[in-house]
Structure 1
Amino acid sequence: MELSNTDSIASKEVVETLGLVRGNTVRARNVGRDITQSLRNLAGGELKGYSELMTDARDQAQSRMVDEAETLDADGVINVRFTTSSIADNGAEILAYGTAVQLR
Protein backbone atom coordinates (compact mmCIF):
# COMPACT_ATOMS: atom_id res chain seq x y z
CA MET A 1 0.00 0.00 0.00
CA GLU A 2 1.46 3.32 -1.11
CA LEU A 3 0.81 6.28 1.21
CA SER A 4 1.41 9.92 0.40
CA ASN A 5 0.58 13.25 1.98
CA THR A 6 0.50 14.80 -1.52
CA ASP A 7 -2.14 14.45 -4.24
CA SER A 8 0.00 12.04 -6.26
CA ILE A 9 2.62 9.33 -5.92
CA ALA A 10 5.82 9.74 -7.92
CA SER A 11 6.05 7.51 -11.00
CA LYS A 12 2.47 6.27 -10.47
CA GLU A 13 -0.73 7.27 -12.19
CA VAL A 14 -4.02 7.49 -10.28
CA VAL A 15 -6.47 5.56 -12.45
CA GLU A 16 -9.44 5.57 -10.09
CA THR A 17 -10.47 7.46 -6.98
CA LEU A 18 -12.26 5.13 -4.57
CA GLY A 19 -13.23 7.60 -1.86
CA LEU A 20 -12.38 8.84 1.59
CA VAL A 21 -10.89 6.37 4.06
CA ARG A 22 -10.16 6.94 7.71
CA GLY A 23 -8.97 5.29 10.86
CA ASN A 24 -9.10 6.54 14.40
CA THR A 25 -8.34 5.63 17.97
CA VAL A 26 -8.95 7.26 21.33
CA ARG A 27 -6.27 6.86 23.95
CA ALA A 28 -6.33 7.78 27.62
CA ARG A 29 -3.47 8.47 29.97
CA ASN A 30 -3.11 6.26 33.02
CA VAL A 31 -2.45 7.21 36.63
CA GLY A 32 1.00 5.60 36.80
CA ARG A 33 2.16 7.36 33.67
CA ASP A 34 0.69 10.66 34.89
CA ILE A 35 2.74 10.48 38.10
CA THR A 36 6.05 9.77 36.37
CA GLN A 37 5.41 12.35 33.65
CA SER A 38 4.42 14.98 36.22
CA LEU A 39 7.77 14.47 37.98
CA ARG A 40 9.62 14.73 34.68
CA ASN A 41 7.66 17.89 33.85
CA LEU A 42 9.13 19.56 36.95
CA ALA A 43 12.65 19.06 35.59
CA GLY A 44 11.75 19.92 32.01
CA GLY A 45 12.43 17.98 28.85
CA GLU A 46 10.51 15.55 26.70
CA LEU A 47 7.63 13.63 28.25
CA LYS A 48 8.66 10.33 26.63
CA GLY A 49 5.78 8.34 28.06
CA TYR A 50 3.28 10.64 26.38
CA SER A 51 5.31 10.75 23.16
CA GLU A 52 5.21 6.95 23.02
CA LEU A 53 1.47 6.94 23.73
CA MET A 54 0.78 9.34 20.85
CA THR A 55 3.14 7.51 18.46
CA ASP A 56 1.32 4.24 19.16
CA ALA A 57 -2.02 5.97 18.65
CA ARG A 58 -0.93 7.46 15.29
CA ASP A 59 0.35 4.07 14.14
CA GLN A 60 -2.94 2.40 15.06
CA ALA A 61 -5.04 5.10 13.36
CA GLN A 62 -2.92 4.81 10.20
CA SER A 63 -3.20 1.02 10.24
CA ARG A 64 -6.99 1.25 10.51
CA MET A 65 -7.08 3.71 7.61
CA VAL A 66 -5.01 1.30 5.48
CA ASP A 67 -7.31 -1.58 6.45
CA GLU A 68 -10.32 0.42 5.25
CA ALA A 69 -8.52 1.27 1.98
CA GLU A 70 -7.74 -2.41 1.42
CA THR A 71 -11.45 -3.28 1.72
CA LEU A 72 -11.99 -0.93 -1.24
CA ASP A 73 -9.24 -2.74 -3.21
CA ALA A 74 -7.04 0.36 -3.15
CA ASP A 75 -3.36 0.38 -4.10
CA GLY A 76 -2.67 3.64 -2.32
CA VAL A 77 -3.95 6.46 -0.17
CA ILE A 78 -3.14 10.03 -1.17
CA ASN A 79 -3.58 13.32 0.69
CA VAL A 80 -3.02 11.51 4.00
CA ARG A 81 -3.60 13.74 7.01
CA PHE A 82 -3.59 13.32 10.78
CA THR A 83 -5.58 15.30 13.28
CA THR A 84 -6.05 15.09 17.00
CA SER A 85 -8.66 16.29 19.43
CA SER A 86 -9.13 16.18 23.16
CA ILE A 87 -11.77 13.81 24.50
CA ALA A 88 -12.77 14.44 28.12
CA ASP A 89 -9.98 15.34 30.56
CA ASN A 90 -7.54 12.50 30.00
CA GLY A 91 -8.10 11.27 26.47
CA ALA A 92 -7.16 12.18 22.95
CA GLU A 93 -8.45 11.02 19.59
CA ILE A 94 -6.09 10.57 16.67
CA LEU A 95 -7.69 10.48 13.22
CA ALA A 96 -5.86 9.48 10.03
CA TYR A 97 -7.65 10.10 6.75
CA GLY A 98 -7.00 10.32 3.03
CA THR A 99 -8.27 9.39 -0.42
CA ALA A 100 -8.11 5.74 -1.46
CA VAL A 101 -6.97 5.26 -5.05
CA GLN A 102 -6.05 2.62 -7.57
CA LEU A 103 -2.69 3.16 -9.22
CA ARG A 104 -0.95 2.13 -12.43
Structure 2
Amino acid sequence: MILVTTKYMQGKEIEMLGLVEGNSIQNKNAVKDFFQGVKSAVGGELKEYVDMLNKSREISKERMIAQAKEMGADAIIGVRYSSTAIWEGVSETVVYGTAVKFK
Protein backbone atom coordinates (compact mmCIF):
# COMPACT_ATOMS: atom_id res chain seq x y z
CA MET A 1 0.00 0.00 0.00
CA ILE A 2 1.36 3.41 -0.96
CA LEU A 3 1.03 6.08 1.76
CA VAL A 4 1.67 9.77 1.06
CA THR A 5 1.10 12.96 3.00
CA THR A 6 0.25 14.94 -0.14
CA LYS A 7 -3.30 15.37 -1.44
CA TYR A 8 -2.37 14.03 -4.87
CA MET A 9 0.07 11.64 -6.50
CA GLN A 10 2.10 13.12 -9.32
CA GLY A 11 1.49 11.31 -12.59
CA LYS A 12 -1.44 9.30 -11.23
CA GLU A 13 -5.10 9.80 -11.98
CA ILE A 14 -7.02 8.75 -8.90
CA GLU A 15 -10.54 7.98 -7.79
CA MET A 16 -11.23 8.87 -4.17
CA LEU A 17 -12.87 6.06 -2.21
CA GLY A 18 -13.26 7.74 1.16
CA LEU A 19 -11.83 8.35 4.61
CA VAL A 20 -9.85 5.59 6.29
CA GLU A 21 -8.52 5.64 9.82
CA GLY A 22 -6.89 3.56 12.49
CA ASN A 23 -6.25 4.08 16.17
CA SER A 24 -4.45 2.52 19.09
CA ILE A 25 -4.58 3.21 22.81
CA GLN A 26 -1.52 2.34 24.86
CA ASN A 27 -0.79 2.61 28.56
CA LYS A 28 2.47 2.77 30.45
CA ASN A 29 3.76 -0.14 32.50
CA ALA A 30 3.97 0.94 36.17
CA VAL A 31 7.40 -0.64 36.74
CA LYS A 32 8.84 0.81 33.54
CA ASP A 33 7.16 4.13 34.36
CA PHE A 34 9.03 4.28 37.68
CA PHE A 35 12.41 3.77 35.99
CA GLN A 36 11.55 6.26 33.24
CA GLY A 37 10.69 8.78 35.96
CA VAL A 38 14.11 8.26 37.51
CA LYS A 39 15.74 8.70 34.11
CA SER A 40 13.79 11.87 33.38
CA ALA A 41 15.20 13.39 36.56
CA VAL A 42 18.74 13.03 35.22
CA GLY A 43 17.96 13.73 31.56
CA GLY A 44 18.16 11.74 28.36
CA GLU A 45 15.76 10.04 25.99
CA LEU A 46 12.92 8.05 27.53
CA LYS A 47 13.33 5.00 25.30
CA GLU A 48 10.41 3.05 26.79
CA TYR A 49 8.03 5.86 25.86
CA VAL A 50 9.52 6.23 22.40
CA ASP A 51 9.06 2.49 21.86
CA MET A 52 5.47 2.64 23.17
CA LEU A 53 4.54 5.49 20.80
CA ASN A 54 6.28 3.84 17.83
CA LYS A 55 4.31 0.64 18.50
CA SER A 56 1.08 2.62 18.78
CA ARG A 57 1.72 4.40 15.46
CA GLU A 58 2.49 1.10 13.72
CA ILE A 59 -0.69 -0.56 15.03
CA SER A 60 -2.77 2.46 13.99
CA LYS A 61 -1.20 2.52 10.52
CA GLU A 62 -1.82 -1.20 9.97
CA ARG A 63 -5.47 -0.80 10.97
CA MET A 64 -5.88 2.09 8.51
CA ILE A 65 -4.24 0.08 5.72
CA ALA A 66 -6.52 -2.91 6.42
CA GLN A 67 -9.56 -0.64 6.12
CA ALA A 68 -8.26 0.77 2.81
CA LYS A 69 -7.62 -2.73 1.44
CA GLU A 70 -11.21 -3.70 2.26
CA MET A 71 -12.31 -0.76 0.08
CA GLY A 72 -10.07 -1.92 -2.79
CA ALA A 73 -7.65 1.01 -2.47
CA ASP A 74 -4.26 1.21 -4.17
CA ALA A 75 -2.98 4.04 -1.96
CA ILE A 76 -3.83 6.40 0.88
CA ILE A 77 -3.26 10.12 0.36
CA GLY A 78 -3.22 12.99 2.85
CA VAL A 79 -1.99 10.75 5.67
CA ARG A 80 -1.90 12.47 9.06
CA TYR A 81 -1.06 11.27 12.57
CA SER A 82 -2.40 12.63 15.83
CA SER A 83 -1.60 11.65 19.39
CA THR A 84 -3.23 12.71 22.62
CA ALA A 85 -3.18 11.82 26.29
CA ILE A 86 -6.54 10.40 27.37
CA TRP A 87 -5.61 10.43 31.05
CA GLU A 88 -2.35 10.08 32.94
CA GLY A 89 -0.33 7.22 31.55
CA VAL A 90 -2.70 6.47 28.63
CA SER A 91 -2.16 7.76 25.11
CA GLU A 92 -4.18 7.40 21.90
CA THR A 93 -2.65 7.53 18.44
CA VAL A 94 -4.88 8.13 15.42
CA VAL A 95 -3.86 8.00 11.77
CA TYR A 96 -6.17 8.95 8.90
CA GLY A 97 -6.18 9.69 5.20
CA THR A 98 -8.14 9.27 1.99
CA ALA A 99 -8.22 5.87 0.30
CA VAL A 100 -7.79 6.11 -3.46
CA LYS A 101 -7.81 3.80 -6.46
CA PHE A 102 -5.68 4.38 -9.56
CA LYS A 103 -7.64 4.92 -12.78
**What percentage of aligned pairs have identical amino acids?**
36
Alignment of 1:36-51 (within 5 A): 36-51=35-50
TM-score (norm 2): 0.95
1:21 pairs with 2:20? yes
Q: CA deviation at 1:10?
A: 3.3
Q: Which amino acid aligns with 1:49?
A: E
User: Alpha-carbon deviations, 1:61-100, whole Å to 9, x = none?
Assistant: 0010000000000000000000011112210100000000
The 1-side partners of 2:82 and 2:42 are apart by 29
The 2-side partners of 1:51 and 1:13 are apart by 38
Q: Which amino acid aligns with 2:12?
A: K
Segments of 5+ residues of structure 2 without an aligned counterpart are none
The 2-side partners of 1:47 and 1:12 are apart by 41
Is 82-91 or 57-66 further displaced after alignment?
A: 82-91
Alignment coverage as a number of residue pairs: 103
2:84 is matched with 85
User: Alpha-carbon deviations, 1:27-69, whole Å to 9, x = none?
Assistant: 0001111011011101101101100000000011001000000
CA RMSD of aligned residues (A): 1.0
Segments of 5+ residues of structure 1 without an aligned counterpart are none
Runs of 4 or more consecutive aligned structure 1 residues displaced over 6 Å after TM superposition: none
1:5 is matched with 5
